[in-house]
Structure 1
């Protein structure tokens, strides 16, 4: 895939740019967490290089939201992951805060200075050491089990990459494999030693999960929370519901069928066209407060690296 042609950024009126900046930051900045300055320390590299495909994917709010929700649907289809997430996280009590913390973790992992990323990931690993239990089916689980970590890492990479490919810019198998390869460094730090490094390895993993994935009312409870929680400002709430339907569309067909997700849960053809227009427009907007733009400043690289293909 050629990464040589840069598209010109989309200029927005200052008022609209500020409102968009605030809306995107709301997805990735928990109110009770300290602000992370991605512009310092000068010159410190991230886990992933600025010319990566990942740096392009994770700055797009449509890909971030749709891909993140699709990943969680796949995670909740696995009984051990589902039980751990639902019983040991704040999804049910405070879904917006959980969404924001997950978004912030993704930003730090992709764009943050390596020292900050490694420190954050080490904290997550320590927290997972205390998470264990038993599924309703009587199967014991540990959050730091490598097989479960592999699945969580794989579904996240699949979700974000597929959302970008579907709603922003098509990625061929070589590009998708590159995204999986780019995620390996952080996956290793999380303990996901067997996370797929290519799209072929992901497809093999997914096929091997046919005997494990199962339906659960929790999947539908999660989707309702994502549709109705105030993750976006009031005027953008219809867009939030649209992106949830767009996320369901990304889930592989046999998994949707296994989970009992119907056409009513998916985006229509007209809605998919709207998502593609939104995703492609968002890809040309360089918001000044975004971690991607701040990280370009930290590394002294032009922001055109974010739009160059």
Structure 2
């Protein structure tokens, strides 16, 4: 009789294949070419951090939460994303569960693809996302313009993503990187931000924390954000483990820096309940990872470089302008025009 862990792993793999891999991993190459280290390669901190899918997903949820504290990002999502629920084309202020699932699926494919995919795969993903960003422009209701190509926005967005991924890893991974090892992850991840057009990016845990807090005068809890968080999620249609659910909303707000928790009006439960929640989440995330193991894409990447790498991965890359051909063809193929930001 198969063990409970094997049953859980099989169910997870079937669900991941049906809901994520078959929809969002199309055209991504992890098995070849032989010897290609991709952007990071074996032994990198990125390979280690991203191999734990449950904490990676939680980190993306946390990143999505904190980035939305920027009013411009709230309106970008409201105007350009399927994340906002709409009735007869009019946003209701609620989160669309299917839109949230699409956004999460694209995010997972991007951060798995850039970590473990071939060099060509990682570069194509980055070009596609840059092309999507290039279409996100508009005006907020208060008259201020927003532009996803704005260097200041790119820096904020980058800091929120690397903060979310690293914080979820540090808090909930069974054997997390810490200190200088964790800073190595922050430093390596700069390559992703630069490929998406970012410049002057923070490269350590302390620098990212300072960067995030420096944006505080620009941040606000807009009605869009307020309607989709905290007590307002009591009637959420999302399942507990999905973005937009009350539990995942708590997990994201619980990871926020203290200043962001105050901005989001986060009231933690009593210390006993808080410890129980965090411990339960730690156990659940690691049990899922231990039973399912790393994704096949990670194992394919390991096999690709098992005989050695042809060349060492480059530490960073200069941003390239979005390819105008990709702006329509590849973005539409990836459904990114309606999916929202991959982060």
TM-score by length of 1: 0.81
Partner of 2:334: none
In 2, the alpha carbon distance for the partners of 1:190 and 1:226 equals 36
> Residue 146 of structure 1 aligns with which residue?
151
For 1:34, what is the secondary structure of its paired residue? coil
Which of residues 81, 87, 90 is equivalent to 1:89?
Answer: 81
Q: 2:302 & 2:257 partners in 1: Cα distance?
A: 35
Aligned CA distance change for structure 1 residues 115 and 37 (closer, same or farther; 3 Å): closer
1:229 positional shift: 3.1
Change (3 A) 1:57 1:242: farther
Alignment of 1:1-309 (within 5 A): 14-25=6-17, 28-29=20-21, 31=23, 34=26, 36-93=28-85, 94-168=99-173, 169-223=175-229, 224=233, 228-229=237-238, 242-263=247-268, 268-285=274-291, 287=293, 289-300=295-306
Closer, same or farther: CA 99–39 of 1 in aligned 2, 3 Å: same
Mean Cα deviation higher: 195-204 or 159-168: 195-204
Q: 1:96·1:229 contact (CA, 8 Å) conserved in 2?
A: no
Residues 64 and 25 from structure 1, CA distance in 2 versus in 1: closer, same or farther, beyond 3 angstroms?
farther
Q: Which runs of 5+ in 2 are unaligned?
A: 86-98, 309-343
State the alpha-carbon separation in 2 of the partners of residues 252 and 122 from structure 1: 31
Q: CA deviation at 1:189?
A: 0.9
- Supply the RMSD in Å over aligned alpha carbons: 3.0
Displacement of 1:261 in angstroms is: 2.9
Q: Which moved more, 1:123-132 or 1:217-226?
A: 217-226
Q: Distance in 2 between matches of 1:30 and 1:85?
A: 25
Q: Unpaired runs of 5+ in structure 1?
A: 1-10, 303-309
Q: Following the alignment from structure 2 to structure 1, what is the Cα–Cα distance between the partners of residues 77 and 141?
A: 13
Deviation sequence 1:241-298 (CA, Å, 0-9, x none): 544422221111211211223336x983211001122233345456474322221122
Check the 8 A contact 1:71/1:158 in 2, yes or no. Answer: yes
Structure 1 residue 81: deviation in Å? 2.0
Q: In structure 2, do the counterparts of structure 1 residues 287 and 176 end up closer, same or farther at CA, with 3 Å as the change threshold?
A: closer
Structure 1 residue 80 displacement after superposition: 1.7
Task: Rate the CA distance shift 1:295–1:227 in 2: closer, same or farther, 3 A.
Answer: farther
Cα distance in 1 for partners of 2:298, 2:7 equals 21
Contact 2:54/2:288 (<8 A) preserved: yes
Secondary structure of 2:30 counterpart: coil
TM-score, structure 2 length as denominator? 0.74
How many equivalent pairs are there? 286
